[in-house]
Each structure stands twice: as C-alpha cells, then as structure tokens.
Amino acid sequence: MTRNVSVARKAEELLSSPVVATAPVAGGDICTATRLKLSDGTSALMKTHLHPPPGFFTAEARGLRWLAEVDGVSAPAVLAVDEDCLIIPWIETGKQVPDAAAEFGRALARTHTSEVQVQGSTQFGFEHDGYIGRLPMRNTPSTSWPEFYATQRVLPYLKVARDRGAISPQDSAVVEQIIGRLSDLVPDEDPARLHGDLWNGNVLWGSDGVVYVVDPAAYAGHREVDIAMLTLFGMPHLQRALDAYDEAAPLVEGWEDRLGIHQLFPLLVHACMFGGGYGARAASIAGRY
C-alpha cells in the first residue's frame, strides 16, 4: 500500500487518527473506494465522490445507523461521514457458505419484524428522502403501502425511464395498468425496516462468518421488497437464506407469485440508470398480473 496524500489527509481530519497507507479498491460505478490503513493497525473503507448529490453520503450513513439499531442484519458502523465521503470499518471477505446464508436469512427476518415508526407513528416511508443508486428517492410517509409504492417507487422512475427513452410508451402503459390493482395484489402488513437496495453486490460475506449489508437505501416498507430484490439478482445459497427467513418470520402465502410486483421498482431504477432491456423486462413482469 502507498499513501494518497489528499485522501489520507481528509480521512485523518475526520477520524482524528493517522493514516499510514491507502490503496484503491476496485468495483462500484458511482463512488471511488479506498482502503485506509490506520496507525493502530486497523483498516477502514473510505468512499468518496467529487460532486455528490446533496446529502448523498449522509443518507447512506443514516440508513446504516438505522439498520444497526436493532438485532438483525449486520451493518458496518459509521466511523465518519462528510458531504463528499463516508468511512466505515474494512470488512475482510471470506467464504460464501450455506450456514452463513441461513443465519443471514434469520437476521433479515429479525430486522423486518422489529418495531419501526416513522415520525412517531406506524407509517411507510422515512424521516428523510434518500437515494437509490445515484437517483433521488422520495420517502414521504404514508399509511398505505399500495399508495406509497405506486407514487414513490414505481411511477417516478417509470416517468424518468420514459423521458430517457429507456422504456417504450407501450411498455410504460403495461406497467401503469398494475397500479390500480396493488391493493388487491399485495397483502396488508405492518411496515418493515428495509435495506431497500438488497441485491447481491450489497451483501458482503465476512471472513468472520458474518454476512454484512452495505449501501442501503433504507426506509420502512413492505418486507417483500427486500425479498424480491434478493431473488431478482440472485445470491449464493439464496434458497437456504429464504428457507431460514420463512421459518423465522413466515411470509404470507403466495409470496413467490408476488415477487414480480416488487421487482418493478429495481427494474425501473436500472432502466433509468443503464437503459438496456430493463424497461421491457419490467413490462413483461407487470403483464403477468
């Protein structure tokens, strides 16, 4: 490891601890990641962005702290946060083993079933707006999941995707048709504490046998959202994790058939960010319902 002077100085200012070495970390298409070696022998991960959207890193830090409030999934502590960076402990990755996946499933169940309130009452949403990837994400509280999901998760990104030419008018119309049926399709449940962007890239298998979650887009929502995103993009030993989850906190019958409903949101986000065939895929899924 060498030492990037500007990165090290910024980290030292925030951590009040000498940084003896830095090393770039591969991966990520939004932020630059750097491993920091501190004078006490520990390591940390520093994420930076030259021109982040307002409140980008504070939103991520808020989500990590919110997830860590309860005895559930393991989220790294926030060591420091500033407008242009976030620092968390370094997680040494290890083997992806079935037993760790099962414990992750049970931990996620505990997170989802923990008590959660927004602005002092049982509502969907969050105290603050946030981001999903690099896109703004509204979290205005609502007592209705179908209303929240339609107005703050599906329709905003459908509009952006349409404006960017990432979904055809015909496919957009197919997605819109499901909106009026959400109340009939999705079972009523209390709000759950969600990671909000729970795909395999945000799941780290620690060398200590613990599965950690990073980069949340946290809010109180329907718990099938996290399950749907995990199944959309896959995860090692996913079935083992889902079986353990369902044993700890049984999902409402028919949840497998409803996964596509809550996959519309991440598919439309991907259509906005990457184009490709994500818009058409969202329409294909919506057409099933």
Q: Is 137 in contact with 119 (CB distance < 8 Å)?
A: no
Q: Above 80 in pLDDT, residue 37?
A: yes
Give the predicted TM-score (pTM) of the model.
Answer: 0.95
**102 and 216 inside one domain:** yes
- Residue 279 three-state SS: helix
- pLDDT attached to residue 50: 87
Nearest Cα residue to 43 out of 11, 67, 9: 11
Q: Which domain holds residue 221?
A: 98-286
Do 197 and 180 share a structural domain? yes
How is residue 235 annotated by DSSP?
Answer: -
Cα(142)–Cα(78) distance, integer angstroms: 29
Encode pLDDT of 240-253 as tens digits: 999 999 999 999 99
Specify the pLDDT at position 1: 66
| Structure tokens belonging to residue 9 | 């100085």
Q: Are residues 32 and 160 in the same domain?
A: no
- What distance in Å separates the CA atoms of residue 255 and residue 187, rounded to the nearest whole number? 9
**Shared domain check, 161 and 109:** yes
Q: Specify whether 85 is located in the same domain as 102.
A: no
* Same domain, residue pair 127 and 22: no
Both tokens of 91, joined, read 């997680």
pLDDT given for residue 20 in this prediction: 96
Place 182 in a pLDDT band, splitting at 50, 70 and 90. very high
Task: Considering the candidates 163, 171, 190, 197, report the single residue annotated as catalytic.
Answer: 197
HSE-CB of 78 using CA atoms within 13 angstroms: 20
- 48 and 176 housed in the same domain: no
Q: Is 215 a catalytic residue?
A: no
How many folded domains does the chain comprise? 2
Domain CATH for 113: 3.90.1200.10
Which one of 47, 64, 89 terminates a domain? 89
Domain shared by 55 and 152, yes or no: no
How does strand 211-213 pair with strand 192-194?
unpaired
What is the band of 17 on the pLDDT scale with cuts at 50, 70, 90?
Answer: very high
pLDDT digits (tens, 9 = 90+) for 193-203: 999 999 999 99
202 and 268 in a single domain? The answer is yes
> Does residue 53 share a domain with residue 178?
no
